[in-house]
Amino acid sequence: MTTNGTGSREKTVGTNVSRVDGRAKVTGKAAYVDDLATPGALFGATVRSDVARGTLRGIVKDPAFDWTGITVVTAADIPGDNVVALIEDDQPLLAKDAIRHVYEPVALVACADPVRLQKAVAAISLDVEKLPPVLSIEDAEAKTQIIHGTDNVQKRYVIEHELGGKTIDELIAACDVVLTGRYAVHHQEQMYIEPQGMIAHWEEEGGPTPGVHVTGSLQCPFYVHKAMKRAFGLEGDKVHIGQAVTGGGFGGKEEYPSIVAAHAALLSKVAGKPVRMIYGRKEDIEATTKRHPARVEITTGCTKTGELVALKIECAMDGGAYVTLTPVVLSRGILHAAGAYKWKHARVHGWAVATNTPPNGAFRGFGAPQTIWAIERHMDRLAEKLGREPLALRQQNVLGIGSVTVTGQTLTESVGVVECIEKATKASDYFVKRAHYNEPSPPHARTRRGIGAAVFMHGAGFTGSGERRLKGKVQVDLEQGGVLRVRSASTDIGQGTETIFRQIAADAAELPFDSIVVETPNTSNVPDSGPTVASRTVMVVGSIVGKAAKQVADRVRGTGAGDFAKLADALLAKEKTVSALVEYEPPLKIQFNDETYRGDAYPCYAWACDIAEVEVDLDTFETKVLGFWAAQDIGKAIHPLMCAGQVEGGTLQAIGWALYENVVWKDGHIMNPRMTNYVIPTSKDAPPFTTFLVEHPFSGGPSGAKGVGELPMDGGAPAIAAAVEQAIRAKCNDLPLLPEDLFRAVRAAREGARS
Amino acid sequence: MSAYAPAGLERTEMARPKTIVEACRILAQAVRAKKTASLLAGGTDVIVDRHLMPVAKAHAIDLIVDVTGVEELVRISERDVGGERHLVFGGGVTYWQLRTDARVTGTIPMLDAMAKDVGAVQIQTRGTLAGNIATASPAADGVPALMALDGKVTLVKDGGARTVPLDQFFLAYRKTVLAPDELIAEIAVRVPKDGARVRWRKVGTRLAQAISKVALASVVEEEGGVITRARFGMASVAAVPHPLAGVRALVEGKSTKSLDRAAIDAAIDREIKPIDDVRSTGPYRLHVAKALVWRALAP
Amino acid sequence: MIRFKVNGAARETDAPPLARLLDVLRVPLGLTGTKEGCGEGECGACSVLLDGVPVNSCLVAVGQCEGRDIVTVEGLAHGEELTPLQRAFVEDGGAQCGICTPGMLVAAEALLRRNTRPTDDDIRDAIAGNLCRCTGYQRIVDSIQAAAAAVRAKGSRA
């Protein structure tokens, strides 16, 4: 079917071919998990704890309730290990003895009638002996209650750079200008519009595909595969994990789907019927992962002329009740904590603590937005102290080709940050507006404007040796008519993977776009390409998609001259299967020591400058974002329209995090688990975006492409804060910047000025 | 999840009257038969509340009276009352009607502005004035606007009718004078004099799909620089939508130029005690309430 | 039995009158293009046209639909031919993950039926009841503008 006008062999990389899943999505035919019909299926639901910490003494089924036709399972029914296999094995699929957070799953219920199902869930009560909970980073650090290891610390990292036998405190003390600041960020809910969901069924031995089949909304089919093998004690070939069309993820469907899948499969196994486990919005907000809150203390030393010299960072993150992905989030956080700047000496120390709150997890940016918030606020504080224009101070110190990062990585290519700053400042008229908005406003003005900038970078691909260990693979098969089928585990969750892989494969194989098809990921028919995370899909997996496609095309063309399709059919007639399986090999020059945290933390970085212009109502402290300019160096835009969509969508999530979104907690419970009061921006709140895609190619990426997925999440909040601070003439060191927070900040600033 | 009614409504019957008289008769019969009955218009409260309500709390409703088929309820007309021009809205008039009916947008643009701030288009097309009034949410947007326009509601029942000023309609949090056999047939609002300052300002959690943190509707009429009439309706600062009668008493008869802000702020302090909740804080609400009142009074 | 028209065809249901229109569309009628994102009229993913007016089908009791005319996302295209809006959402970046797209298209369709020359603010007002977490809305606004231009050029309805 040629719908794209790309039946020609013209190169498609760099062009806006129409997205291949577009027609299905605009006609309502795209089938998300809740759209899949499952005749005879039961509905599944979860019984959860309503205390934050305690000892589970029993699970009580109301004897007065009619339990006919209702399946109830508990930890005792798990055939394999009662763990959510990920990094450590500390999180149970269903709590058995200990309750470690509100909303922790304890039992599962299935029933054919959804209303009876709800009633059955309500008829199960948990007998829990309460224990005093740990509900914040400070609680955990106080160590009054020990809930993890001996000190509540889940993970700790230290980066030391050019200390030369001195302590960082000594090096800072020797500087002309010393500044200390403390910055904090809060939880953030991913709020994909499609809630989590999985459908599971079991196929008996002797069938064509025996074992457990789970289909649903997910980012990483092989994460689910790994977790399911452990939970059910199954070999890999008995676990089949497939992706339904997925309505957004943003990291929220990285690790959590393993739990939904295992729960659905467990109910299905016991009930002997397919089970649909589809979360409602409230349950999704309450139970699933969120962005890690963090508290970052920064002390810096610099010269009088603003040259940065020494940096000390102490970063604490709240991992929540179980370790899950926290070590990796913390790692990425501290590796981005020094920002996009040159430091002669640095010590970055990060640790994550356990609390009795739902585990925090993957969310676009993955630790980096937290630490970039801190360093960007600190740069603004430093500019004030030095009496410098904040963006000029950044320009003076920004990393470039030949610069060395705090892990000792020398940047040798693909650093487009200067061009990003030039493009964004010029289009927004930043310097003129910044100076203008510093002028005193008329005494009765009820609004005031501000403009602010953030400069930042984001490492593309897995950290350090991650890709080397992971060995991601892609397979390309030749099919009748000269069609190439790309098999990878990289999921399309809206970002356009399917379209982009077709572009990359078509160009590499010198075939028309329409000669490429992309297999919908299922662990039984795609190789493990690694997870769909870490801004790695295009740069890492995309690069081997191209290689594999070229290998297959070369084999076909090696058989003779003439029409590709005819050659392909002739080859297939001879060989039955013609395919290429390619494994990713990171550039050899990229070396990182996971113990010392020295070396090349990432193969390359994407760079950016964001500028936000705001107007704040000085009575109500509502912030209106008037305009947003984002210039982002992503190496090469394979599909410029989709890249711009990534930049704008990610940026709006960052704006939301800063200005609207706030998880309200009380005793470990979430008080606003609804879309009506966990507030994400609407079309009226979102600013008009001006987006520049800057292309400083990376030699290891397809056509020079780096990652674009996470970068846009990093700069929005600090750029907004810088603009808001200018408008309200008060400091904002902590997120969020809700009107109530700005009201308090302005009051505090006034009282400070008076005393 | 599936083709089921929200819990507690699985076996609820639905009546669909065509006239107000018929609707009243149905309500009267239900009350006599000791049935629980509820009116349904846009469903923006009833359906949502029941859908999100925990199963254990979802008591059954015997009868739902859907009034969306009653044409009299969606009429907008004009009436002269005591020499003053009034607009009269049927109880079923939607926010979308307020935004698109030329009589409304041309006569009282403040209602258009208010309606534009209610949810978003899909809520405006369903939500009704009577629903907003009967639900008695302190955060209602429509009620403060109607209150500032001297709104009076006509309550009808089988064999009777009465008219109640909106500022006497609400008794306590979510409690009103509406009897189980009554429905809100119409709301009459006084058209402010030409040149009056008729304002609406909603401070919500965002610019659409937002519940107000504070909202203020105001009508200020002047003669020769002296305020002859001041009316307010404020949302989300008390258990019920609030008319700020103390402020009104303080400013009527005063010249706009000589208003004493400190005294007005003190009156607001006496009248409202806004609370902390998931959307905002008491101190912020109080601060904004004062600022909005001052803006409403400004020339 | 409740009878109504869906996408031009007469349909009926024996669902209880207080069942949500959303559930009746999705399950017995199999029209799963209409999505549920929140169940409380907040996200707009379940938007449909009811007698030409955009509504959240999660707020509509099916009993209220007797005799009425409902259009879902499946009823927008003319056979295989996409509408200008649908084409624009495919070509101009309006659709990413696609879960908000059906509701977004319905809301935009209602806008273009009453105004083929909308400003960006008109568009942002018309889709303010449709939450999108992917796009930042800019490409959606652009898509709707592109569709409006196409409609004007054709001199036809959306």
- Minimum CA–CA partner of C108 in chain B: B121
Cα dihedral A533/A539/A544/A545 (nearest 10): 80
Contact between A619 and B288 using a beta-carbon 8 Å cutoff: yes
Chain C residues whose CB is inside 8 A of the A250 CB are 133
Query: How far is C-alpha A267 from the geometric centre of its chain's CA atoms?
Result: 30
Distance from CA of C96 to the nearest CA of B (A): 22
* Minimum Cα–Cα distance from C103: chain B residue: B122
Pick from B268, B272, B56, B264: which is nearest to A121 by CA? B56
* CA angle centred on A400, ends A608 and A534, rounded to 5°: 45
What is the pLDDT at residue C156? 58
Stretch B171-200: mean pLDDT: 97
How close A118 comes to chain B (CA, Å)? 6
The helix/strand/coil state of A38 is: coil
C114-132 as b/e: b if 16+ CB within 10 A: eebebeeebbbbbbbbbbb
User: How many degrees, rounded to 5, is the angle at CA A386 between CA A381 and CA A389?
Assistant: 75
Q: Quick one: pLDDT at residue A6?
A: 63
CA distance A189 to A678: 8
Q: Which of residues 231-290 of A touch C (CB under 8 A)?
A: 245-250, 280-281
Report the complex ipTM. 0.98
Q: Are B243 and B170 in contact (CB under 8 A)?
A: no
Residues A46 and A105 sit within 8 Å (Cβ to Cβ): yes
- Is the distance from CB of A253 to CB of A219 less than 8 angstroms? yes
Average pLDDT, chain A: 96
Instruction: Give the distance from residue C146's alpha carbon to the nearest chain B alpha carbon, in angstroms.
Output: 21
How far apart are the C-alpha atoms of A331 and A157, rounded to whole Å? 7
3-state helix, strand, coil split of chain B in percent (to 5) is 35, 30, 35
User: How confident is the model at residue B36, as a pLDDT?
Assistant: 93
**Chain B residues in contact with A619 (beta carbon < 8 A):** 287-288, 291-292, 295
Residues of A in contact with B54 (CB under 8 A): 122
Residue A300: its H or E element: strand A294-302
Q: Tokens 């005591």 identify what position?
A: B82
Each residue of A466-480: pLDDT tens digit?
A: 898 899 999 999 999
First CA to last CA distance, chain B: 54
**The whole model's pTM is what?**
0.98
Residue A604, beta-bridge partner list: A460
Q: Identify the bridge partners of residue A212 per DSSP, sorted by sequence position.
A: A202, A239
Chain C residues closer than 8 Å to B135 by CB: none
The residue of chain B with its CA nearest to that of A742 is: B284
* Whole-number pLDDT of residue A40: 95
Q: Can you give the pLDDT at residue A534? A: 86
Residue B223, classified by CB atoms within 10 Å of its CB into exposed (0-12), middle (13-18) or buried (19+), is exposed
Inter-chain residue contact A649 with C136, CB threshold 8 Å: yes
Q: What integer is the mean pLDDT of B201-208? A: 98
Low-confidence ranges of chain A (pLDDT < 50): 1-5
CB A247 within 8 A of CB A28: no
Write down the pLDDT at residue A659. Answer: 98
- Across the interface, do A280 and B1 touch by the CB < 8 Å criterion? yes
Per DSSP, which regions of C27-68 are E strands? 47-50, 53-56
A429-456 residue pLDDT tens: 999 999 999 999 888 899 999 999 999 9
H helical segments located in B182-274? 245-251, 261-271
Contacts of B123 (CB under 8 A, 6+ apart): B42, B44, B95, B209, C41, C56, C59, C129
- Looking at the complex, report in whole angstroms how far the Cα of residue A676 sits from the nearest Cα belonging to chain B: 7
Q: Round to whole Å and give the CA distance between A717 and A364.
A: 13
Cβ of C97 within 8 Å of Cβ of A194? The answer is: yes
Token pair listed for B109? 């643009």
**Are A167 and A346 contacting, i.e. CB atoms less than 8 angstroms apart?**
no
What residues of chain B lie within 8 A of the CB of C61, using their CB? Answer: 5, 14, 40, 43, 47, 64, 66
Q: Report phi then psi at A368, rounded to 5.
A: -70, -40
Predicted confidence at residue A112, as pLDDT, reads: 96
On whether the CB atoms of residues B274 and B255 are closer than 8 A, the answer is no
Query: What's the CA gap between C106 and C53, in Å, rounded?
Result: 9
Q: How confident is the model at residue B1 (pLDDT cuts 50, 70, 90)?
A: very low
Q: What is the pLDDT of residues C106-145, one digit of tens each?
A: 999 999 999 999 999 999 999 999 999 999 999 999 999 9
* DSSP 3-state of A717: helix
User: Residue A454: its pLDDT value, please?
Assistant: 98
Token readout for B288 is 């904004």
The arithmetic mean of pLDDT across residues C20-35, rounded, is 97
**Residue C13: φ, ψ to 5°:** -145, 150
DSSP calls for A65-122: S--TT-EEE-GGG-SS-SS--SSSS---SS-SSEE-STT-EEEEEEESSHHHHHHHHH
In the structure encoding, which two tokens stand for residue A436, read together?
């203008």
Nearest CA in chain A to B117: A684
Within 8 A of A278 by CB-CB distance, chain B residues are 1
pLDDT(B189) > 90: yes
Q: What is the pLDDT of residues A311-325, one digit of tens each?
A: 999 999 999 999 999
- Chains within contact range of chain B (3+ C-beta pairs < 8 Å): A, C
Please report the sign of the dihedral spanned by the C-alpha atoms of residue A362, residue A367, residue A372, residue A378: positive
Closest by Cα among A591, A585, A535 to A407: A591
Radius of gyration of chain B (CA): 20
pLDDT-above-70 percentage for chain B: 99
Mutate to test the interface with A, among B284, B285, B295 (most CBs of A within 10 A): B284
B28-61 confidence digits (pLDDT tens): 999 999 999 999 999 888 888 888 887 777 888 9
Integer Cα distance of A248 and A250 in angstroms: 6
- Strands (DSSP E) contained in chain B are 13-15, 37-40, 63-66, 76-81, 84-90, 152-157, 160-165, 170-172, 175-176, 183-190, 197-204, 212-223, 226-235
How confident is the prediction for chain B on average, in pLDDT? 95
Q: Is B172 exposed, middle or buried (0-12, 13-18, 19+ CB in 10 A)?
A: exposed
B261 at A interface, C-beta within 8 A: no
- The phi-psi region of residue A87 (left if phi > 0; otherwise alpha if psi is between -120 and 50; otherwise beta) is alpha
**Mutation test of the interface with chain A: which of B4, B48, B205, choosing the one with the most A Cβ atoms within 10 A?**
B205
